[in-house]
Amino acid sequence: LEKLHKVDTVVVDKTGTITIGKPTLVDIKNLSDKSDDDFISVLASLEKKSEHPIAHAITGYAESKNIALNPVSAFEGLQGRGIQGSIDGVEYFAGNAKLVKDLNIAFDTKAIEQFTAQGKTPVILATKQKVLGFVMVADEVKAESKQAVADLHKLKIRVVMLTGDDEKAARYIASLVGIDDVVAHVLPQDKLEKIKGLQMEGRVVAMAGDGVNDAPALAQADVGIAMGTGTDVAIESAGITLLHGDISKLVKAIKLSRMTMSGIKQNLFWAFIYNIVGIPLAAGAFYPIFGWLLNPVFAGLAMAFSSVSVVSNSLRIKTKKL
């Protein structure tokens, strides 16, 4: 609360912070010789092992279509890129375009650009030899996000989005809510380095996020802000938790911090004024010159009035509307 009034840059994650965090599968592009159900079965079997909201969207779709899932062996999470695992002796990879690039597989990204321009996030399924297809997942922007960003701008605070998602999809979402800057395709350590970079520029940074991947950045930021709907790790790493994951409460927290610090400064001013004037008067410093002395009764009243005025000034915050 004490640091928050100095914040001039707010860094936000996309999924679960700006968006609702409950994406749904909206498009399927099967480029393999498998049937669509078999294609989804492989992808959903892999994603079943993941805790990411996008994974839940894919497995939820498979469940809604009664598509059977297969056991996965040698499963591994590929930080910031996707996942891998073996099904029936075949090694599969599922993730973003960066993962496909790292595998040195030829893939025309133009095939997904028309979807990412609409704010959809691609999940590509591949083997070591070729891309089998991709699905598109869309997440709805929170109703309060646009107004929250506008209110932060009114407080002269810059808003930056950091996300591991596709850049075009991220920029589309950012354009909907008015975010100033977007950094996409970031790994958890990249988020951490971005926070450090902003701090080295002399900025006071608040980071808002909800996932395990956000925890290092939340801990590094001057003020870490977790969504109440997020993971326990994120909440533990942050200094402030916003109930129900409501990003608009961040604006209220900053306003409350500014009011609180303003009140503290006012209270200190009045406390010092009372003492600067009262102590020399009570000590008889003015008696030789003006003949002034402070009766102990009035000294006691002045001390009591000092305390009452400070408490009353603090209680004014209760009457303020955030």
Per DSSP, the three-state class of 110 is: helix
Please state the separation of Cα 233 from the chain's center in Å.
13
Cβ distance 286 to 292 under 8 Å? yes
Name the residue among 23, 16, 85, 79 with its Cα closest to residue 49.
Answer: 85
What single string gives the DSSP state of each residue in 131-149? EEEEEEEE-PBPTTHHHHH
Cβ distance 282 to 58 under 8 Å? no
Name the residue among 126, 102, 104, 100 with its Cα closest to residue 29.
Answer: 126
Annotated catalytic residue, options 13, 139, 222, 246 = 13
Fill in the DSSP letter of residue 67: P
CB atoms closer than 10 angstroms to residue 50: 19
Cα separation of 30 and 52, whole Å?
A: 22
Cα separation of 95 and 139, whole Å?
A: 17
Cα separation of 177 and 164, whole Å?
A: 18
Let me know if 270 is exposed, middle or buried by CB neighbors in 10 A (0-12, 13-18, 19+).
middle
Tokens representing 294 are 């402070």
Tokens representing 155 are 């407080």
Is 13 an active-site residue?
Answer: yes
Cβ distance 263 to 314 under 8 Å? yes
Catalytic residue list: 13
